[in-house]
């Protein structure tokens, strides 16, 4: 089978290569999936660069999620059948950037694809949509009337969180770095948008919350902006850090944390999946049943065959995209 593989950490465009590997076979409790679509996520590229939370034994095939069809079922597998469309997540015996992958038939690794989703939407069901759902529903338990401030408001996760807020009833304050992204969000109907390049982040958060501060915060950027978000939390506010786009450390006001009983914690989907598989499976089922699920997940902006991975990665790393870049074939 064709697959993308790397034998050293570094620039994905330089370290990845298209190789021919033996087609895997499912063992007991496993299924063989013929992959149809795989999104290129920042986490995939962090792994190839050696900057991810866990690193594979090399040579390795990258890819944390995707959608495909079951081609073979191993012994002792129940609940899955040949021809079924499924979503893969946290593949432990090879990533999704190959034509075939073997996956353990367990809820934390394999999910039935919701009928409401296209193949390309289902391929990106876990890393972004499920992260957004777990953060706002499981970790923060946001309720109608709550105020959530988030960085990277124009990102895929940011847009998902805003849409979930509209459906559930909590308010979102969305921080972006560039004025054109702020205009784009406002034009799409997002009410509360702050541009960190031109606005005072702390002041704007306090104005929009009538001086009370935000109930909770989601940060994917880090650096000084995250400092101001944490400072704008109301007493007993919570902040989840789930990304490091700026590549900078964040300074926090310890007196505010102490006297306001605020908390700051990290969120990493892989750890959440590993530590509480039952919660993962439950949340996946809840999200799959969410009204208007198809409207939450954007379609693909572009599709590239596995052989065209270099061009696909360059496209995925451009700013201002409207959807995921998919690897097909």
Catalytic residue among 52, 100, 242, 304: 52
HEC string of 180-246 equals HHHHHHHHCCCCEEEECCCCCHHHHHHHHCCCCCEEEEEECCECHHHHHHHHCEEEEEEEEECCCCC
Listed in sequence order, the residues at least 6 apart from 300 whose beta carbon sits closer than 8 Å to its beta carbon are 37, 39, 120, 323, 324, 325, 326
The two beta strands, 300-305 and 324-328, are: parallel
Contact 18, 112 (CB under 8 A): no
Contact 68, 36 (CB under 8 A): yes
Contact 243, 266 (CB under 8 A): no
Is 52 labeled as catalytic in the residue annotation?
yes
Alpha carbon separation from 83 to 284, 289, 312 (Å, rounded): 21, 22, 28
152 burial (CB, 10 Å; 0-12 / 13-18 / 19+) is buried
Listed in sequence order, the residues at least 6 apart from 179 whose beta carbon sits closer than 8 Å to its beta carbon are 195, 197, 198
Beta bridge partners of 60: 6
Cα 162 from chain centroid? 14
Please state whether 191 falls in left (phi above 0), alpha (psi between -120 and 50) or beta: alpha
Q: Active-site residue numbers?
A: 52
């Amino acid at each position: 089978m064709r697959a993308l593989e790397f034998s050293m950490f570094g620039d994905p465009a330089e370290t990845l290569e298209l190789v021919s590997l033996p087609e895997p076979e499912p063992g007991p409790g496993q299924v063989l999936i013929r992959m149809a679509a795989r999104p290129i996520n920042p986490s995939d590229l962090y792994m190839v660069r050696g900057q991810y939370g866990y690193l594979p034994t090399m040579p390795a095939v990258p890819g944390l999620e995707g959608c495909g069809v079951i081609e073979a079922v191993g012994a002792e597998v129940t609940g899955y059948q040949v021809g079924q469309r499924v979503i893969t997540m946290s593949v432990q015996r090879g990533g999704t950037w190959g034509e075939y992958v073997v996956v353990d038939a367990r809820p934390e690794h394999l999910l039935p694809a919701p009928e409401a989703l296209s193949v390309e939407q289902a391929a990106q069901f876990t890393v972004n949509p499920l992260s957004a759902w777990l953060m706002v529903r499981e970790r923060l338990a946001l309720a109608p009337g709550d105020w959530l401030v988030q960085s990277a408001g124009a990102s895929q996760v940011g847009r998902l969180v805003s849409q979930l807020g509209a459906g559930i009833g909590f308010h979102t304050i969305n921080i972006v770095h560039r004025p054109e992204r702020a205009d784009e969000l406002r034009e799409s109907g997002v009410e509360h948008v702050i541009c960190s390049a031109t606005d005072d982040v702390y002041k704007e958060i306090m104005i929009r919350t009538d001086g009370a501060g935000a109930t909770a915060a989601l940060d994917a950027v880090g650096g000084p902006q995250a400092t101001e978000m944490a400072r704008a939390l109301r007493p007993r506010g919570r902040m989840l850090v789930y990304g490091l786009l700026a590549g900078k450390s964040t300074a926090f006001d310890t007196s505010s944390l102490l006297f306001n009983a605020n908390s700051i914690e990290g969120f990493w989907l892989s750890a959440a999946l590993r530590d509480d598989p039952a919660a993962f499976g439950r949340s996946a089922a809840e999200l799959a049943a969410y009204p208007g699920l198809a409207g939450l997940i954007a379609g693909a902006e572009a599709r590239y065959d596995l052989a065209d991975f270099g061009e696909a990665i360059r496209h995925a790393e451009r700013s201002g995209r409207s959807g995921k870049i998919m690897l097909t074939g």
